[in-house]
Amino acid sequence: MMHGQKEHDPQNGRRPILRRATPVAVLTGAGVSAESGVPTFRGQGGLWRSYRAEDLATPQAFRRDPELVWQWYGWRRGLVGACRPNAAHVALAEMEQALDDFVLVTQNVDGLHRLAGSRRVLELHGNIWRLRCTRECRPPWEDRRDPLPEIPPRCPACGALARPDVVWFGEALPGAVLAEAMDASRRCELMLVVGTSALVQPAASLPLLALDNGAHLVEINPQATPLSHLAGEVLREPAAQALPRWWAAHGLSA
């Protein structure tokens, strides 16, 4: 168990003690994959810099020009497909193994957490390697082919257009996944927030739920975010350096 709130207070200089049974939640964003070579959305060279999100990542854009939207996703699949998990992904997979109550929530659609060995990943914004029938005639399916043989791809069952199984602007998040993420955030005693600008809702509110529970918040991000002033510990470093070091330093106490 974590000690009481007082001992988490960064002002008193004492570090929280992490035990096997400590409920831990992690929220990751594009920054956790930055050192794998996946561009972030809003930073320098961010994906949204060269493309207008509203032209591509909305249901309206897909209705208007599914081929254009799929070309963009095809390009992103190619880019992500060439990337490998980095030391931050690996440290999170190790944490899942070592802790009894560990929940990893990600906004990323790149699938790198699973590739690093994380088994249970709550993907709030979907997964770029999954496709979905626009008529919803069957559950989403995985298709890792790159390039896809047909752009735009079609549902193999009914022939309707297929879309990426990701959340677009203006769309709701998958309800059950969000509910689990909220539950884990409310329960946790320690939350790591790694590589997210904390600007996109509802993901950005998960750390607030954790704070309501008195959780100790650790932010790992080279840049300040709206959450920074709420965090008990801030590591202004790239995740692939800071996270493995944090895990080694705060590893399980006996």
Catalytic residue list contains 125: yes
The CB-of-98 to ligand OAD minimum distance in angstroms stands at 22
> How far apart are alpha carbons 202 and 185 in whole angstroms?
12
Verify binding: residue 41, ligand OAD, rule CB under 6 A. yes
The nearer residue to ligand OAD, 2 or 34, going by C-beta atoms, is: 34
Stretch that binds ligand OAD, among 18-26, 32-40, 111-119, 174-182 (CB under 6 A): 32-40
> How far apart are alpha carbons 32 and 85 in whole angstroms?
9
Q: State phi, psi for 144 to the nearest 5 degrees.
A: -95, 10
Residue 69: CB partners within 8 Å, gap ≥ 6?
56, 57, 61, 62, 152, 163
Closest residue by Cα to residue 191 from 169, 174, 180, 207: 207
Verify binding: residue 238, ligand OAD, rule CB under 6 A. yes
Verify binding: residue 225, ligand OAD, rule CB under 6 A. yes
The nearer residue to ligand OAD, 40 or 118, going by C-beta atoms, is: 40
Verify binding: residue 239, ligand OAD, rule CB under 6 A. yes
Verify binding: residue 42, ligand OAD, rule CB under 6 A. yes
Q: Count of CB atoms within 10 A of residue 104's CB?
A: 26
Set 89, 125, 216, 229: catalytic member: 125
Q: Taking CB under 6 A as the criterion, which residues in 12-31 touch ligand OAD? A: 29-31
Q: State phi, psi for 137 to the nearest 5 degrees.
A: -75, -15
Contact present, 113 and 27 (Cβ < 8 Å): no
Per-residue contact string for residues 89-128; x = within reach of ligand OAD by CB under 6 A = ------------------x-----------------x---
Give the total of residues touching ligand OAD (CB under 6 A): 26
User: How far from 162 is each of 151, 153, 157, 241, CA to CA, in Å?
Assistant: 10, 6, 10, 38
Q: State phi, psi for 227 to the nearest 5 degrees.
A: -90, -15
Among 22, 36, 40, 127, binds ligand OAD (CB under 6 A): 40
Which tokens go with 25? 């939640």
Give the three-class secondary structure for 15: coil
Per-residue contact string for residues 176-215; x = within reach of ligand OAD by CB under 6 A = -------------------xxx-xx---------------
Verify binding: residue 174, ligand OAD, rule CB under 6 A. no
Please give the residue ranges that form the binding site for ligand OAD (CB under 6 A). Answer: 29-31, 34-35, 40-43, 46, 57, 107, 125, 167, 195-197, 199-200, 220-223, 225, 238-239
Residues marked active site are found at 125
